[in-house]
């Protein structure tokens, strides 16, 4: 089933730099005078009862610290939603005012915004526009009522964005991988670009920002199709159950999340320059499952997660991101769905899908803004356990009774992802949604990989002897000792699975082994300390973390070498 949006939305983003000065005839007939502003109004898509439009305003007057554009419709057009401006309407009169992030409008500078509206009969271009009360001249850009609607540069969304497409190789990660001994074997693999704080949008410490990555993606694209994978990861009170991945925004800073983080990202992605890219967003890993498993009276609850459940800012933030990013015609949103060793239990499975529906229908988002879900993001759960199944029994005991499985209904990520997809559809998501599985670190190869089932002495010996996943406990997540690269990224590898992906770039740390002061908002989580003896979330077991790890997201050479050594399928 196709997951095409009912109405494809095309928006324009903030346009940097100067625009050519427009001239108009001097009514006195004695020369020419500069027009104070120009407006380019384009109807980008039009159907029987609705349309989308893009407006670009160029200021030739004095620089402005805020701005307001006004126009009136001759017909019955009504603006229903907008982006990159605060748009209101009273009768036929429309006002579009700046957002906080695009308030400055330099002399010769331009700003763009877009909106969706309804109409019946004709859909004429407004005759007059004003910028802060001053009348501008108008360029209808060929989008007048007698012209056909401008073509959608991307066409309708495809069912699986990965099919028939290359995937973006991050040159910064690739260079680090290639600099490692043996790293050239995987340096050309595509990985996710993590936007884990506001500063990452423009680039941190001289590194590449979002526009830099998208520009490079256009170069890599050539004449074919190309997917760019972005991780949207900066919720208020982020990751309430893991200090290592805490973020910069406090639990109540939803406004900053919207205006300083999501809105600027949406504006960049909506730039027509990038319309030919397939942009896959992984939305806020680990957030929504925390509201199910780490709140209330559960032994795994944390006060921080209780706060986020009470204020609803996880659902609101995810909903806002889905809404704004989903308005961009070539963006494919995938919500993070945890992993089998987190929400595979009966108490967590359906409730997690319900929480995800709450998020997908908040802050203006709809089910059509969700293209799919992703499992095992930045985690280690084995893709497929071949040496035992959930239906096996040993000595009269089910595999579910083993200490490792612990009554879970799933033993690996593939079976979980396929089943959870069906649960999501049952909960109300579109039947055409697809799943992604992060296989960047779940190969579990090397000398410790079992060649066959464990002995049938008892159910624990059977499971522990045969399982590929060699973690001490399925709840362990930080820089796991013994892990290896998993399946290489590939499209449509199994039923219901859009792709295996490497969203977590191999070699980037999950968190520091000891406390490291930093300005990145990242705390010290004892689960990253190899001497830690655990908590209820990992059955009070040792953490299994590698020693001497740096802050999350920083390069960890020892981990990178281990992942290559234990890769499965093995590296050649």
114 and 216 share one domain:
no
Indicate whether 19 pLDDT > 60: no
Domain assignment of residue 572, yes or no = no
What is the CB-side half-sphere exposure of residue 515 using CA atoms within 13 A? 2
131 and 173 share one domain:
no
Strand, coil or helix: 44: strand
- Averaged pLDDT for residues 46-69: 87
Q: How confident is the model at residue 217 (pLDDT cuts 50, 70, 90)?
A: very high
- Specify the range with the lowest mean pLDDT, choosing from 134-138, 254-258, 351-355, 554-558: 134-138
272 and 359 share one domain:
yes
- Specify the range with the lowest mean pLDDT, choosing from 225-239, 443-457, 508-522, 546-560: 508-522
Query: Which DSSP letter does residue 71 get?
Result: E
Strand, coil or helix: 45: strand
Q: What is the pTM of this model?
A: 0.75
SS3 assignment for 357-410: HHHHCCCCCCHHHCCEEEECCCCCCCCCCCCCCCCCEECCEEHHHCCCCCCCCC
Q: How confident is the model at residue 241 (pLDDT cuts 50, 70, 90)?
A: confident
pLDDT digits (tens, 9 = 90+) for 345-354: 999 999 999 9
Domain assignment of residue 341, yes or no = yes
Better-scored residue on pLDDT, 534 or 421? 421
Domain assignment of residue 308, yes or no = yes
The 10 Å Cβ neighbour count of residue 319 is: 22
pLDDT digits (tens, 9 = 90+) for 133-188: 888 876 544 433 333 333 344 456 899 999 999 999 999 999 999 999 999 999 99
127 and 185 share one domain:
no
The pLDDT > 90 percentage for the chain reads 72
Domain assignment of residue 396, yes or no = no
What lies within 8 Å, CB to CB, of 20 at 6+ separation is none
Last residue of a domain, one of 139, 155, 182: 139
260 and 197 share one domain:
yes
Cα separations in angstroms, 128 against 38, 39, 85, 135, 195:
11, 9, 19, 7, 40
Q: Where are the beta strands (DSSP E) in 172-224?
A: 193-195
| Distance in angstroms between the alpha carbons of the first and the last residue of the chain | 38
289 and 189 share one domain:
yes
114 and 186 share one domain:
no
> Which CATH number belongs to the domain containing residue 433 in this structure?
3.20.20.40
pLDDT digits (tens, 9 = 90+) for 283-312: 999 999 999 999 999 988 999 999 999 999
pLDDT recorded at residue 523: 81
Better-scored residue on pLDDT, 41 or 261? 261
Q: By C-alpha distance, which of 412, 466, 462, 465 is closest to 439?
A: 412
What is the CB-side half-sphere exposure of residue 284 using CA atoms within 13 A? 30
d(CA 514, CA 548): 8
Are the C-beta atoms of residues 399 and 415 closer than 8 Å to each other?
Answer: no
d(CA 376, CA 310): 26
Q: By C-alpha distance, which of 133, 121, 59, 63 is closest to 95?
A: 133
Indicate whether 2 pLDDT > 80: no
| Angle formed at CA 352 by CA 330 and CA 486, multiple of 5 degrees | 65
Are the C-beta atoms of residues 513 and 530 closer than 8 Å to each other?
Answer: yes
pLDDT recorded at residue 35: 76
70 and 173 share one domain:
no
pLDDT digits (tens, 9 = 90+) for 112-126: 888 888 988 888 889
Domain assignment of residue 476, yes or no = no
Better-scored residue on pLDDT, 445 or 121? 445
Last residue of a domain, one of 122, 139, 156: 139
Q: How many domains does the chain have?
A: 2
Indicate whether 10 pLDDT > 60: no
- Specify the range with the lowest mean pLDDT, choosing from 14-23, 26-35, 62-71, 382-391: 14-23
108 and 176 share one domain:
no
pLDDT digits (tens, 9 = 90+) for 448-475: 999 999 999 999 999 999 999 999 999 9
Domain assignment of residue 149, yes or no = no
> Which CATH number belongs to the domain containing residue 124 in this structure?
2.60.40.290
d(CA 193, CA 207): 12
55 and 191 share one domain:
no
Domain that holds residue 79: 23-139
pLDDT recorded at residue 1: 36
pLDDT recorded at residue 357: 97
Cα separations in angstroms, 515 against 172, 426, 429:
26, 44, 41
| Angle formed at CA 269 by CA 377 and CA 330, multiple of 5 degrees | 80
pLDDT digits (tens, 9 = 90+) for 501-535: 999 999 999 999 999 998 887 888 899 999 999 88
> Would you give the distance in Å from CA 403 to the centre of its chain?
34
| Angle formed at CA 363 by CA 11 and CA 497, multiple of 5 degrees | 75
| Angle formed at CA 280 by CA 274 and CA 283, multiple of 5 degrees | 125
Task: Give the active site residues.
Answer: 239
285 and 333 share one domain:
yes
Domain assignment of residue 289, yes or no = yes
309 and 231 share one domain:
yes
Backbone phi, then psi, for 32, in 5-degree steps? -125, 155
pLDDT digits (tens, 9 = 90+) for 30-48: 333 467 889 988 887 777 7
Domain assignment of residue 5, yes or no = no
pLDDT digits (tens, 9 = 90+) for 80-108: 888 889 999 999 999 999 988 889 998 88
């Amino acid at each position: 089933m196709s997951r095409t949006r009912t109405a494809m939305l095309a928006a324009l983003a903030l346009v940097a730099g100067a625009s050519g000065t427009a001239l108009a005839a001097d009514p006195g007939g004695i020369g020419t005078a500069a027009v104070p502003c120009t407006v380019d109004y384009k109807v980008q898509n039009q159907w029987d009862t609705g349309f989308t439009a893009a407006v670009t305003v160029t200021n030739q007057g004095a620089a402005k610290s805020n701005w307001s554009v006004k126009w009136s419709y001759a017909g019955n057009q009504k603006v229903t939603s907008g982006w990159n401006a605060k748009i209101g309407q009273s009768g036929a009169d429309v006002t579009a005012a700046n957002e906080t992030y695009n308030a400055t409008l330099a002399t010769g500078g331009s700003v763009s915004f877009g909106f969706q509206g309804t109409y019946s009969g004709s859909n004429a271009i407004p005759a007059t526009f004003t910028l802060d009360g001053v009348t501008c001249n108008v360029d209808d850009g060929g989008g007048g009522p007698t012209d056909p609607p401008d073509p959608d540069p991307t066409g309708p969304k495809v069912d699986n964005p990965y099919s028939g497409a290359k995937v973006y190789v991050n040159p910064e990660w690739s260079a680090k991988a290639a600099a490692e001994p043996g790293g050239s074997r995987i340096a050309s693999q595509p990985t996710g670009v993590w936007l884990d704080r506001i500063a990452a949008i423009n680039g941190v410490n001289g590194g590449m920002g979002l526009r830099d990555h998208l520009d490079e993606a256009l170069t890599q694209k050539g004449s074919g199709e190309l997917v760019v994978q972005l991780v949207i990861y900066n919720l208020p009170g982020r990751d309430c159950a893991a200090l290592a991945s805490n973020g910069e925004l406090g639990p109540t800073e939803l406004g900053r999340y919207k205006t300083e983080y999501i809105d600027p990202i949406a504006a960049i992605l909506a730039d027509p320059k990038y319309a030919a890219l397939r942009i896959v967003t992984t939305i806020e890993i680990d957030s929504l499952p925390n509201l199910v498993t780490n709140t209330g009276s559960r032994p795994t609850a944390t006060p921080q997660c209780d706060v986020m459940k009470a204020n609803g800012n996880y659902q609101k933030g995810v909903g806002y991101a889905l809404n704004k990013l989903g308005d961009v015609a070539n963006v494919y949103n995938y919500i993070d769905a945890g992993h089998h060793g987190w929400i595979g239990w009966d108490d967590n499975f359906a409730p997690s899908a319900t929480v995800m529906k709450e998020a997908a229908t908040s802050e203006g988002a709809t089910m059509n803004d969700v293209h799919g879900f992703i499992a095992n993001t930045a985690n280690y759960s084995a893709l497929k356990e071949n040496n035992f199944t959930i239906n096996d029994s040993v000595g009269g005991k089910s595999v579910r009774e083993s200490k490792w499985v612990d009554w879970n209904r799933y033993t690996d990520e593939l079976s979980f992802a396929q089943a959870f997809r069906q649960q999501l559809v049952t909960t109300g998501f579109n039947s055409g949604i697809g799943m992604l599985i992060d296989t960047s670190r779940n190969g579990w190869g090397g000398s410790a990989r079992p060649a066959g089932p464990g002995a049938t002495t008892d159910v624990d010996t059977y499971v522990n002897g045969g399982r590929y996943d060699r973690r001490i406990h399925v709840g362990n997540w930080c820089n796991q000792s013994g892990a290896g690269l998993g399946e290489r990224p590939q499209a449509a590898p199994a039923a219901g699975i859009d792709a295996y992906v490497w969203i977590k770039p191999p070699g980037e740390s999950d968190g520091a082994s000891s406390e490291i002061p930093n300005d990145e908002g990242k705390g010290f989580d004892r689960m990253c300390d190899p001497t830690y003896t655990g908590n209820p979330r990992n059955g009070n077991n040792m953490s299994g973390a590698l020693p001497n790890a740096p802050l999350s997201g920083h390069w960890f050479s020892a981990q990178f070498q281990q992942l290559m050594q234990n890769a499965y399928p093995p590296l050649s």
